[in-house]
Structure 1
Amino acid sequence: MGLALQLGVLRLMGFLPEAWTSQLPPEAVAFVAMQLKTGDGRLAGYGARQQTRSDHFIAVLKHLGYRKWEPLDVSWLEPWLVERALEHDRDRALLAMTCRKLHQARIVRPAIGTLERLVGGISDLATQETYRRLAPLLTDEVRQQLDALLLPEAGRNLTRHRWLVQPATASNPAAIATALDKLRYLDGLSVAAWDVSSLHPNRQKRLALLARSRSNRHLERLPAAKRYPVLVAFVRESYLTLTDEVLGMVDAFWEQSLAKARRAHDQYQQQVVAAKDTALRTLAQAVAIVLDEDRTPARQVRPSIYAQVPREDLVLAWEAVQTMLYPTRHSHLSFLAKRYPLFKQFTPRLLEQLGFRQGFAGDDFGAALQLVSELQTGRRRKLPEQAPTDFLKPTWRKFVLGDQLSAEQQRPAYELAVLATLRDRLRSGDVYVAPSHRYADLSSYLIPPAEWERVRPERCAQLGLPPVTTDRLTERLQELEDLLGPMRQLLKAGSDVRLEAGELVVTRPAAEEVPAGAKALQQEIGRRLPAVDLTDILVEVNAWLGFTAHLPGLEHAPRGEEHDTRLLATLLATGCNIPLSDMARSAALPYQSLWWTASNYLRDETLKSANNLLVNEHHRQWLASYWGDGTFSSSDGQRFAVSGKVRNARALPTYFGTGRGVTMQTHSSDQYAQYGSKVVPATLRDATVVLDEIVDNETDLAIAEHTTDTAGYSDIIFALFDLLGLFFCPRMRDLADQRLYKIRGQDWTYPDLKFTGTLNPDYIRRHWDELLRLAGSIQSGRVTASLFIGKLQAYPRQNHLTYVLQAYGQLIKTRFILRYLQSQPLRQRIHAQLNKGEELHALRAWLWFGSEGVIRRKQQEAQSEAARCLTLLTNCVLLWNTVYMQEVVQQLRAEGYPVKEAHFESLSPSRYEHINRLGKYSFANPAHLDPLHRRPLRHPSEPMA
């Protein structure tokens, strides 16, 4: 019995815990005992002789092909770890990877302390390796250029480093021109020609982020072996992000211009309608005089008309009729053409500086773009009569080639048509820019083919995927076939899932009744939870965990006695959307100190680290285990209006009326803790960004299943989840209209559902390796799922990778829908998890009360920091509530209250009625009042707070 259990534990975990006999689940022991027919399976007397356990362990190692860890294993594991550290520099992730690697190599894991020491020393080795790989690039000239970044220029109190870091605040010609100036400066350094391919993209991004968040003085103090790689990565990443920023601003300016042109066109149409009747009456009156030949001689026609109809009215009527008859004004493009001078302020430099490349050569757009570039940069003066026009869309073709434009007007119209097409093709990928993050060639986002051949086995092992398609695809097809028969029987039974007049009907489950005992327990907990200020929650939770230690400053300056007070104040202000000036006055803290603390300590990566600490601590609370095991999560978007012009805000009248806004996308576990948050444009589909935070999850939550609402899924999402070893289970409200897929070549009997599609498994087999390469690229951090999905969805001419992804996703979706229909518990579980997300949204909205809930931060980076702060506050409240709810339960038990464990799952830590978020007001008589009960005036130099 003991030998068999050793074998199972080692095969599962890759090592034997020290006290493994006492840690085994009783159910597992009983199951093995039943197989071996050894009675109750007690292990109390096992291994009374240490030699017995040792002999059994050696026998198990031999049987499974394992061996023990040896110190010499460091010689091959250390270089492997350095490679991984160049991809992921987080110690926790590296430690998990090391354990998996040893398991895959069939080496028994040594004591965890041994591996922690090994991983702890990898950072320095990774720094040395980074410098070694970049050494060929670091010539004396390049070093001088990099050092010059950190020195103020003559006549300017600003370094090039700070100048490059400053983001754009608007999407207008001036901002675009400034970004193009930065690109021109970087072109002068020949940055585009730098070969940094030896460094993983993740490593480059992390080093660049380090440079962006550090001051010039800090960077100057770094040793050369670290400073130059950091600056190389910063300059290279700045080039890519500036390219993306320029094209993003151009895209936004196009959107703004088109919106203004459409509004102007609508106003014009309304004016035409309003003027039409008046013009017709005026002209009719004049025409009547002309036709009345008996009363009005020819010589008296004009005087007679002017006597009854003033000449000014006739002019207005004639202009109104001309307006109605002028065809080019029937389109908003004629109003867009009036904005041509604004485009001309930046488009010549845009076409000259950015190297646009054609990904689609099926028409003459490339020649048209070259022609417009020559026209705008002055190399050509006139538009040729036979200009390329095959690429024009019908709307633009009618406007540009119509006979209503003069020769002088036709050139601007043609140039705008080409620029509009350039914008559309950049979005779709038919035109790309190199180098770039968002606008690069589609294939550049994936692991290069030569590298993929080398890393395929390891990537597949990390994903739990077979390197060939046979096993996985056969398994999925078999699962689908096994679901068909029960589905037919379920439809015949006519239960809550049935057919009515040939249409699928799924009865909505009744609201789950909360037991009376659970309601009573909830009330008793509510009566005993301490009334608390939100500020006190932060102070208490920080005293438990010290999460502020995970928010280091940019310069690692020593922390004074008041540091945590200022840091918690800025966290509260940022997470509650309260202006720092208001917080300074309310908390009697200097505004400048709060501003400095927020600028130096609140950053996206440090806030994420602090949040991870809170999530992990919440996961360890015994009450949280009754709400879930931390492997199931959900995501949803919460929309907030913005104030003023914000680059990433979008119009969405349903939520913002005539204004604009953004979406805070949050990921919540089944234990309520929120492990991810991201700010995206309000019009972006949830499905596009659903995977990012799951792949980037660094908490103790081992997310294996994920759900979203209806807007959160697509065929591609189903495929990617499965390829990444995750189960995607969205709530689906349009089941009757869902298209299901039959399998070509399989003579199966299908249920009477909409199996109107057909997919070819042989096509998936032929392109299986490309699916693996995509999954490996996302898993390794080479590309985010949202970026790649966005490119695929925008691409008008789908390539084979899109087709095979959709085909595999259609198989996974069909399998899921059949499971979803056949399992009411699954539907209820999904519904319950999404309800938890709604509860958390209510808590977040309650916390986000400052400035009437309107976001006033212009930069996406600042918005992201605010979202992280709000998530941190949310997790603090959840943890505080959970801890005190546990205390209340213990107190109730001590008082003899009948507490039942079955009621714990109905409890929720997202309550906030006992929390005071507004602070306290004092109405005591103010001190220092004069005899008239008036206070002295403030001196002009005295600060407000």
Structure 2
Amino acid sequence: MPVDFLSDDQVSRFGRFAADPTPGELEQFFRLDGRARELVAGKRRDATKLGWAVQWGTVRMLGTFLLDDPVAVPASTVAFVAEQLHLDPACLDDYTARPKTAYEHTWEIRDAYGYREFSAAEAEVRGFLAARVWASLEGPRALFDRAVVWLVDNRVLLPGITTLTRLVAEVRATENAALYRTLDEAVPDELRQSMRDLLKVPEGKRVSELERLRTVPMRVSGSAMTAALERAKDVRGLGAHLVPTSVVPGARMARYGMGSKAPTLRELEESRKTATLLATVRHLESASVDDALDLLDVLMASRLLARADRVGKEEKLKALPKLKRAAGRVAKAVGVLLETAPATEDGELVSVVDAWAAIEKAVPREKLAEALAIIAEVVPDEEGDEDEEWRAALATRYGTVRGFIRLLVDVVDFGAVEAGAPVVKALKQLPHLIHRKKLPATEVERELVTGSWRRLVFAAPGAEPGLADKAAYSFCVLEHLHRALRRRDVYARGGDRWGDPRAKLLAGDRWESAQPTVLTALGLEAEPAAHLAELAGALHGAYHQVVAGLPTNSAVSFKDGKLVLDRLGPAAEPKLMPAFRQLANGMLPKVDFPELLLEVADLTGMTSAFTHISGADPSMEEFELSVCALLLSEACNVGLTPVVKPNVPALTRGRLVQVDQGYLRAETISAANGMLIEAQRGIDVVRAWGGGLIASADGVRFTVPVQSLHAGYSPK
């Protein structure tokens, strides 16, 4: 591997001060402890005292001594150390009067604090780097930084930058080769050939099978859900999960396999190709299940539940006028009944006939019966609930889910905790039940059919007695599944985001074999007591620090035993901002928007993308002016009138209508937009903005280069 992988920033800060240390770094590395103060006190001159203390902090922060120039330290650092010793920072200039003094101090610090040469700890560094290669996704730059931190923490003096760079490259190459070899040897010949076939483009197709399996669902529909489950089934059918690779990490290779084109993967060395494909397919096994359940979540939430809820609310609104009239009639009847005395003055009870006679004078019996029927229809009974309207609307969308229910159960291996066990049981029975022509009510999972689902499942309008409504019961189970998945009461075995969070915890022999590598990579001890005590102490200190600052913190208060935080207000504008804004505005040229559009068209040549609908190139004069005028009218939504100029041939109404009908259409506008993006990428400052794929709306910057389940191009 080449060893010139370091960034300019890494090179500039290796073993030297690239910038002034932060206040936190000064406290951490240059705050003198008791032993350092004792050793400093043994020096005679102020310069040697300050020089020794500066070198002591330098090796603690950088991992090396600045032997070529011991005083090449930021002034803020010297001032921080000098303040602790009550010395003048300027006296450090006399520290190098006797060159050997600095060397003697380095030897003293090394002996007193146990610093080692790199050669004495090289084997330990190799072991640490090897563990990081196996247990992380870090590239060579990150590994180099990890190695520097390890050396500093373990009081090992930094070697030359080339030595450490070559060591990182060598260890990474060696461990990767071992990783490739281990995975390659575990793959049976049949699977090896099946994975190589993924790199081929089938006849009549435009992309390889691997590219098809790597393509995530982008549309939200029942047919897209079926396609997503078929994808997961195809990946699972390759059988990569049967290869025993639990102790071999392949996440980094999976990332390479997911991001590389098929021709690139075909050119890899054989063992690396097999290992990369195996890791990629293993990743796709979990990713395809997660993608399918992501799609199910979005489908249920946005396309089914949300729409049904909206329809239910619309039905409620439509029923409100009728309900209002019906309630008024019932209120009149009840009012008459309440005003009627239960008995006359002589003690004779009022008969029912007399009561009805009084009621019918206010509301006819037929109208009252009609009102009661309306109320019974609109207002849920004791067994119903407020969700009945939208659930009834949801049941009408049965065709959306009917096609993938069996595939969902066959492809995704659902598991559950105790609370989700009835949901999984009902889901696994569902394909067999809905396959029947009629669904007996005795065979459904009654524990899930609660609330308004009872009426919809067991008493649907027009349903035969003793039978259950298949559409309503299917959505009843899917609604419970959707909620249980979000609560993680139900999970997908083999999934990652939707999987069992306990599944990846190593135990038994698997943990015993992986324990040394993992502990070395993380820098932890086998016994966690000391580490937990350290974390508990830090947490305890943080709590006390927060409590101590509460009396003087005006943004925090307690109300009814609850912590109340003031809202963050807008940040104060820097003092120089008004002047800077005025300066920037003065530098901007004042141009009309049409002139700017014409200039951009001339610089980018974007008008050449507007070809005639017949395929011919434009032959009319000043075609660019006509196109820009049309773009301006469309963008500003002002119509043709403001841009029409009868005395300019390119801007007459007839010319503009002709160009609009013959040249402006979706594909030409898209092609012109692509030319603008390519031209923008050539501007230096754009590289700092994200390569031309950055959008901005209301101050929020985001990147949406491709359509996905959760993001897409606005139809507006």
- Decide whether aligned partners of structure 1 residues 219 and 51 sit closer, same or farther in structure 2, where only a CA change above 3 A counts: same
CA deviations over 1:95-133 (Å, ceiling 9, x no partner): 110101112332101122322233344553343132123
* Pairing partner for 1:114 from 163, 167, 173: 163
Q: What's the counterpart of residue 244 of structure 2?
A: 195
| Aligned match of 2:30 | none
Output the CA distance in 2 between the equivalents of 1:252 and 1:475: 41
* Number of the residue aligned with 1:45: 94
2:393 is aligned with what amino acid?
Answer: F
Q: 2:337 corresponds to which residue?
A: none
Q: Could you tell me which of 310, 320, 345 is aligned with 1:263?
A: 310
Contact 1:363-1:390 within 8 A present in 2 as well: no
| Aligned-residue offset at 1:150 | 1.9
**1:279-313 deviations in whole A, cap 9, x for unaligned?**
999xxxxxxxxxxxxxxxxxxxxxxxxxxxxxxxx
Query: Is residue 240 from structure 1 mapped to residue 303 from structure 2 by the alignment?
Result: no
Q: Does 1:477 pair with 2:540?
A: yes
Distance in 2 separating the partners of 1:399 and 1:179: 30
Residue number in structure 2 paired with 1:369: 427
- 5 Å-filtered alignment, 1:458-469, equals 459=522, 467-469=530-532
- Cα deviation, residue 470, structure 1: 2.9
Amino acid at match of 1:477: H
Residue number in structure 2 paired with 1:80? 128
Would the alpha carbon gap of residues 335 and 203 (structure 1) be closer, same or farther in structure 2, given more than 3 Å must change? same
Are 2:704 and 1:858 equivalent residues in the alignment?
no
From 397, 401, 404, the equivalent of 1:339 is 397
User: 2:268 is matched with which residue: 194, 206, 222?
Assistant: 222
Cα offset, 1:519, TM superposition: 3.7
Once the two structures are TM-superposed, the CA of residue 348 in structure 1 deviates from its matched residue by: 0.9
Q: Name 1:431's counterpart in structure 2.
A: 490
| Consecutive unaligned residues in structure 2, runs of 5 or more | 1-48, 329-369, 601-665
- Alpha-carbon distance in structure 2 between the residues aligned to 1:500 and 1:354: 49
User: What code does the residue aligned with 2:483 have?
Assistant: D
What residue number does 1:356 align with?
A: 414
Quick one: structure 1 residues 158 and 456, their matched pair in 2 at CA, closer, same or farther if it must change by over 3 Å? closer
Q: CA deviation at 1:410?
A: 3.4
Paired position in structure 1 for 2:189:
140
Letter in 2 for 1:192: H
- 2:155, 2:440 → 1: CA distance? 71
Specify the SS of the correspondent of 2:109: helix
Query: Contact 1:151–1:160 at 8 Å: present in 2 too?
Result: yes
Q: Deviations over 1:860-900 (max 9, x none)?
A: 69969x9xxxxxxxxxxxxxxxxxxxxxxxxxxxxxxxxxx
CA contact (8 A) 1:192 1:435 kept: no
Deviation at 1:430, TM superposition (A): 1.1
For residues 127-148 of structure 1, what are the alpha-carbon distances to aligned partners after superposition, in whole Å with 9 as ceiling and x for unaligned? 3132123134322111111111
Structure 1 unmatched runs, 5+: 282-315, 538-578, 603-609, 616-672, 680-839, 849-854, 867-945
Superposition pairs for residues 617-656 of structure 1, below 5 Å? none
1:643-663, Cα deviation, whole Å (9 max, x unpaired): xxxxxxxxxxxxxxxxxxxxx
C-alpha distance in structure 1 between counterparts of 2:294 and 2:558, whole Å: 49
- Aligned residue type for 1:262: D
Q: Which amino acid in 2 is paired with 1:166? A: T
Match of 2:632 in 1: none
Asked if 1 retains the 8 angstrom alpha-carbon contact of 2:312 and 2:390, the reply is yes
| Correspondences of 1:547-626 after superposition (within 5 Å) | 582=669, 584-585=671-672
Q: Call closer, same or farther: CA 1:483–1:74 in 2, change over 3 Å.
A: closer
Q: 2:472 aligns with which of 407, 413, 428?
A: 413
Relative distance call for 1:63 and 1:209 in structure 2 (3 A) is same
* RMSD over aligned Cα atoms: 5.0
Q: Which has the higher contact order (CA 8 A, sep 6+)?
A: 1
Per-residue deviation, 1:452: 5.9
- The letter of the residue matching 1:242 is S
Distance 1:183 1:5 in 2: 61
Question: Cα gap change, 1:363/1:479 in structure 2, threshold over 3 Å: closer, same or farther?
Answer: closer
Report the Cα offset of residue 187 of structure 1: 2.8
Of 25-34 and 3-12, the range deviating more from structure 2:
25-34
User: Which residue is 2:62 aligned to?
Assistant: 13
Deviates more, 1:160-169 or 1:58-67: 160-169
Contact 1:243 1:436 in 2 (8 A): yes
1:94 paired residue number: 143
What secondary structure sits across from 2:92 in the alignment?
A: coil
Bigger mean CA offset, 420-429 vs 479-488: 479-488
CA distance, structure 1, for counterparts of residue 441 and residue 467 of structure 2:
12
Aligned partner letter, 1:248: D
For residues 668-697 of structure 1, the C-alpha deviation after alignment (integer angstroms, 9 at most, x for no partner) is: xxxxx999x999xxxxxxxxxxxxxxxxxx
Residue-by-residue CA offset, 1:368-414 (whole Å, 9 max, x unaligned): 33332442467x97546264433555454564456876444434433
Q: Given the alignment, which residue of 442, 447, 455 partners 1:390?
A: 447
Contact 2:441 2:468 in 1 (8 A): no
SS in 2 for 1:385: helix
Match of 2:503 among 444, 454, 466: 444
**Residues 1:506 and 1:262: Cα distance change in structure 2 (over 3 Å):** closer
The Cα of 1:209 is off from its aligned counterpart by 2.0
Distance 1:228 1:388 in 2: 47
* Amino acid paired to 1:84: R
Q: Compared with structure 1, are the counterparts of its residues 512 and 21 closer, same or farther at alpha carbon in structure 2 (3 Å cutoff)? A: same
Query: Does the CA-based 8 Å contact 2:133-2:172 persist in structure 1?
Result: yes
Question: Residues 386, 529 of structure 1: CA spacing in aligned structure 2 closer, same or farther, 3 A cutoff?
Answer: closer
Amino acid at match of 2:416: Q
Counterpart position of 1:182 = 231
Report if aligned partners of 1:369, 1:418 keep a CA contact under 8 Å in 2.
yes
Q: CA deviation at 1:275?
A: 6.2
Report the Cα distance in structure 2 between the residues aligned to 1:483 and 1:326, rounded to whole angstroms.
52
Per-residue deviation, residues 147-191 of structure 1 (Å, max 9, x unmatched): 111223355555322321333231212112222222222232223
Aligned partner letter, 1:859 = S
Q: Partner residue of 2:658?
A: none
Matched AA of 2:129:
L
Deviations along 1:428-475, whole A, 9 cap, x unmatched? Answer: 11111121121111123567665467634753679xx99533344334
Taking the aligned partners of 1:482 and 1:180, their CA distance within structure 2 comes to 52
In 2: Cα distance, 1:408 partner to 1:507 partner: 57
Please say if residues 492 and 498 of structure 2, whose CA atoms lie closer than 8 Å, have aligned partners that are also in contact: yes
Query: Separation in 2 of the partners of 1:225 and 1:336?
Result: 52
Tell me whether 320-329 or 254-263 shows the greater mean CA deviation. Answer: 320-329
Whole-Å Cα distance in 1 between the matches of residues 231 and 674 of structure 2? 41
Do the aligned partners of 1:364 and 1:389 also contact (CA within 8 Å) in 2? Answer: no
Q: TM-score, normalised by structure 1?
A: 0.49
1:390 to 1:133, Cα distance in 2 relative to 1, 3 A = same
Larger radius of gyration: 2
- The one-letter amino acid paired with 2:315 is Y
Q: Is the 1:33–1:41 Cα contact (8 Å) retained in structure 2?
A: no
1:285-296 pair list within 5 angstroms: none
Deviation of the 1:16 alpha carbon = 2.0
1:166–1:209 CA distance, 2 compared to 1 (3 A): closer
Does the C-alpha gap of structure 1 residues 509 and 141 become closer, same or farther in structure 2, counting only changes over 3 Å?
closer
Structure 1 match to 2:296: 250
* 1:826 matched residue in structure 2: none
CA distance 1:335–1:520, shift in 2 (3 Å): closer
**What is the CA–CA distance in structure 2 between the aligned matches of 1:586 and 1:185, rounded to whole Å?**
38
CA distance in 1, matches of 2:178, 2:309: 56
Aligned to 2:198: 149
Give 2:518's match in structure 1, choosing from 444, 455, 463: 455
Supply the distance in 2 between the matched residues of 1:84 and 1:535 (Cα, whole angstroms). Answer: 56
